[in-house]
A and B are shown apart, each in its own frame.
Chain A
Amino acid sequence: MGQSLWFASRGTGLVTALLLTATTVLGAIHAGRVTSARWPRFTLHAVHRNLSLLTLVFLAVHVASAIIDPYAGIAWLDVVVPFVSTYHPFWLGMGAVAFDLILAVVVTSLLRRRIGLWWWRAVHLSAYALWPVAMLHGVGIGGADTRLGWVLALYLACAAAVLVAVVRRLLVRDPDRDARRRAWTS
């Protein structure tokens, strides 16, 4: 087997980063109420949801291969409890934080009807913190990988995409929200 598990972990980690970025970007676009004939909002939402589930699959392989591979001595506990590992405690800890947040976002989305919109929204908004934390984990722990030109370019492209989507979301006007804000003054 040799190093194959370790390579698998690094590779799936990078793919997870790409998928997470795509999910985040689509989520921000969706929340920003973009509609077009070719991309109706329900399509956007369906892709957002399916990409997030695909992210989970790659994340599972990424985590499992990193643990099973004996090279770094990562324990199962290190996956969910941040900053306790012997291997790069800080950068791996960032990964653990991101992992916990992803689980929280996914679980609350599955239980959205049960827990109500307020809690769902509160947790779902943490995705905007989750994304940079996950990316920092990748950049920091990636070591030599991160110094590869194409990997660096990929990270920069991801950052640009999320930045554009989030700024767009903040700038977009929502008549419903505006009307609600000004209506009741008593």
Chain B
Amino acid sequence: MDIVSATAGDATTTTPYRMRLLAGWADTGTTAGLAEHHRRYAPLPPAAFAGRGGPARLIGLVESSGLRGRGGGGFPTARKLAAVAAGRGPRTVVANGCEGDPAGAKDRVLMELAPHLVIDGILLAAHAVGAAEAVLCVHEDSSAIPVLAAALRERGATRTPIRIVEVTRRYVASEETALVSVLDRGDARPRGRFPRPTERGVRSRPTLVDNVETLAHLALIARYGDAWFRAAGTDDSPGTTLVTVGGAVNDPGVYEIELGLPIGAILQVAGGPLVPVQAVLLGGLGGTWLGPEFVRTPLSHAGCRTAGAALGIAAVIALPAAACGIAETARVLRFLADESAGQCGPCMFGLPAIADDMDELALMPDHAGRVAARLRSRLAVIPGRGACAHPDGAVRLAASALHVFADDVAGHAEGGPCRWVGQPSWMPVPAPAGRRR
């Protein structure tokens, strides 16, 4: 995937576009070494957060900046920091650079272009919560690993030791309790929603699990302050964010945009649509389809919520008007079903069942009405019943497909099998033939 950044040329409704995380790096497309990093951002101001009240001041600054997690949940970062800082005993920081969703590439791009910004963020977070150790989790075989390793060597001994841990390349392995589990016992499967890692994480100690982009923003907030951070973005979603734009656009890739930018403008940032676009999948594979109204939907937490979607990992996939949304959704559902950790009944039986239903909707139009009814009843019963949000994401995807592609469902019910079946997919999922098992 190209690593391109651009200005939001045609964006009409927002302030001029700013680049922060990727400032400069993206122009050259090469990794920033420590000297270059310091030249652009200046070294961390150590004095500002030293002393007894230092960590609390840092957390206060993050709180007033309004920074929210960039890993999908959008949880206020300061609340997590404060929860871990208030915990008892030794604490751990886990930087999540795993990015299990194939729709996203932003974390890898960030770690490859600006590894020192991520390292700054880890060290600051460790300082804020009083952690004695930090772990940077990256997918096994990721091209970011040698870059990060080189950056850590360049740093020498850091205040808080940081080690890189490679995690199996599975969708659910980047979920926060799965990371805790892989660090504790080498099993990269989610462990359940309670207790949260902030209370009982790695070795049952309070643990901060934050996405690497979140930590990079933290490194900039520590330097430039909360007001500077809030100067971009919206009230409820301040700052900039990395987006991964894919599908039918001219220049798919990772871009930094200001939160609140309409998704139509984001497609323009990525070179504009390749062909007419009927819908976008927003937030990752377990995300939400948005119909033509996506053009004006602001990419912010509130904007997505109003549109019935979730920002998720800020991935946008553009679907051509000629493609069949039902067939594409069926492919993604099959992938998500195969990626189930196989721990919770509603997920290990429910996801294959709804993937089958969506397949049938695309392939066997005779009884489309009955299949759609069965699918709807299954979608009603699955959410909220897994140890992690994986089944919820699959259900969100399927439900939004039925809504946005209602015409396709009706069309399949009238005519023959889907003309799009067998065509190459626009979705970033492995081809069914190449699947495991």
A and B touch in the complex (CB under 8 A): yes
- Which residue in chain A gives the minimum CB-CB distance to B342? A183
Number of interface residues of A (CB under 8 A): 9
Which of B170, B340, B348 has the most A CB atoms < 10 Å from its CB? B348
Contacts A185-B436, A185-B437, A186-B188; is A179 near B342 (CB within 8 Å)? yes
Q: Is A150 an interface residue (CB 8 A)?
A: no
Interface of B is mostly: loop
Across the interface, do B168 and A186 meet the contact criterion of CB distance under 8 Å?
A: yes
CB-contact partner of A182 in B188, B189, B342, under 8 A? B342
Q: Is B276 an interface residue (CB 8 A)?
A: no
Q: Is A184 an interface residue (CB 8 A)?
A: yes
Across the interface, do A180 and B436 meet the contact criterion of CB distance under 8 Å?
A: no
With the chains together, A184 CA to B340 CA distance in Å? 8
A176: chain B residues within 8 A (beta carbon): 345
With the chains together, A183 CA to B386 CA distance in Å? 15
- Chain B 328-363: CB-based contact to A (< 8 A → 1; otherwise 0): 000000000000111101001100000000000000
Across the interface, do A180 and B170 meet the contact criterion of CB distance under 8 Å?
A: no
Across the interface, do B345 and A184 meet the contact criterion of CB distance under 8 Å?
A: no
B348: chain A residues within 8 A (beta carbon): 179-180, 183
With the chains together, A180 CA to B349 CA distance in Å? 10
- Please report which residues of chain A, range 127-169, place their CB below 8 angstroms from some CB of chain B when the two chains form the complex: none
- Chain B 178-204: CB-based contact to A (< 8 A → 1; otherwise 0): 000000000011000000000000000
A175: chain B residues within 8 A (beta carbon): 349
With the chains together, A185 CA to B170 CA distance in Å? 10
* Shortest Cβ distance from residue A183 to the other chain B in the assembled complex, whole angstroms: 2
Across the interface, do A184 and B349 meet the contact criterion of CB distance under 8 Å?
A: no
With the chains together, A41 CA to B188 CA distance in Å? 34
- Please report which residues of chain A, range 3-59, place their CB below 8 angstroms from some CB of chain B when the two chains form the complex: none
* Shortest Cβ distance from residue B140 to the other chain A in the assembled complex, whole angstroms: 10
A182: chain B residues within 8 A (beta carbon): 342, 437
* Shortest Cβ distance from residue B82 to the other chain A in the assembled complex, whole angstroms: 33
Contacts A185-B436, A185-B437, A186-B188; is A180 near B343 (CB within 8 Å)? yes
- Which residue in chain B gives the minimum CB-CB distance to A180? B342
With the chains together, A175 CA to B342 CA distance in Å? 12
B342: chain A residues within 8 A (beta carbon): 179-180, 182-184
With the chains together, A182 CA to B437 CA distance in Å? 9
A180: chain B residues within 8 A (beta carbon): 342-343, 348
- Please report which residues of chain B, range 279-327, place their CB below 8 angstroms from some CB of chain A when the two chains form the complex: none
With the chains together, A51 CA to B349 CA distance in Å? 36
* Shortest Cβ distance from residue B331 to the other chain A in the assembled complex, whole angstroms: 20
- Which residue in chain A gives the minimum CB-CB distance to B170? A186
- Which residue in chain A gives the minimum CB-CB distance to B347? A183
- Which residue in chain B gives the minimum CB-CB distance to A179? B348
With the chains together, A184 CA to B341 CA distance in Å? 5
With the chains together, A182 CA to B345 CA distance in Å? 13
With the chains together, A175 CA to B436 CA distance in Å? 20
A183: chain B residues within 8 A (beta carbon): 340-343, 348
* Shortest Cβ distance from residue B413 to the other chain A in the assembled complex, whole angstroms: 32
A184: chain B residues within 8 A (beta carbon): 189, 341-343
With the chains together, A180 CA to B341 CA distance in Å? 9
Which of A176, A180, A186 has the most B CB atoms < 10 Å from its CB? A186
B345: chain A residues within 8 A (beta carbon): 176, 179
- Which residue in chain B gives the minimum CB-CB distance to A186? B168
A185: chain B residues within 8 A (beta carbon): 436-437
B168: chain A residues within 8 A (beta carbon): 186
With the chains together, A184 CA to B387 CA distance in Å? 15
B188: chain A residues within 8 A (beta carbon): 186
- Chain B 362-379: CB-based contact to A (< 8 A → 1; otherwise 0): 000000000000000000
* Shortest Cβ distance from residue B224 to the other chain A in the assembled complex, whole angstroms: 41
With the chains together, A30 CA to B170 CA distance in Å? 36
* Shortest Cβ distance from residue A180 to the other chain B in the assembled complex, whole angstroms: 6
A179: chain B residues within 8 A (beta carbon): 342, 345, 348-349
With the chains together, A26 CA to B436 CA distance in Å? 40
- Which residue in chain A gives the minimum CB-CB distance to B436? A185
- Please report which residues of chain B, range 83-107, place their CB below 8 angstroms from some CB of chain A when the two chains form the complex: none
- Which residue in chain A gives the minimum CB-CB distance to B187? A184
* Shortest Cβ distance from residue B35 to the other chain A in the assembled complex, whole angstroms: 39
With the chains together, A175 CA to B349 CA distance in Å? 9
B343: chain A residues within 8 A (beta carbon): 180, 183-184
With the chains together, A179 CA to B168 CA distance in Å? 21
B173: chain A residues within 8 A (beta carbon): 186
- Which residue in chain A gives the minimum CB-CB distance to B172? A184
* Shortest Cβ distance from residue A175 to the other chain B in the assembled complex, whole angstroms: 8
Closest 5 CB pairs of A and B: A183-B342, A186-B168, A179-B348, A184-B342, A184-B341
Supplied contacts A180-B343, A182-B437, A183-B341, 11 more A-B pairs, CB within 8 Å: A175-B349, A176-B345, A179-B348, A179-B349, A183-B348, A184-B341, A185-B437, A186-B168, A186-B170, A186-B173, A186-B188
Interface residues of A (CB under 8 A from B): 175-176, 179-180, 182-186
20 A-B pairs within 8 Å (CB atoms) are namely: A175-B349, A179-B342, A179-B345, A179-B348, A179-B349, A180-B342, A180-B343, A180-B348, A182-B342, A183-B340, A183-B341, A183-B342, A183-B343, A184-B189, A184-B341, A184-B343, A185-B437, A186-B168, A186-B173, A186-B188
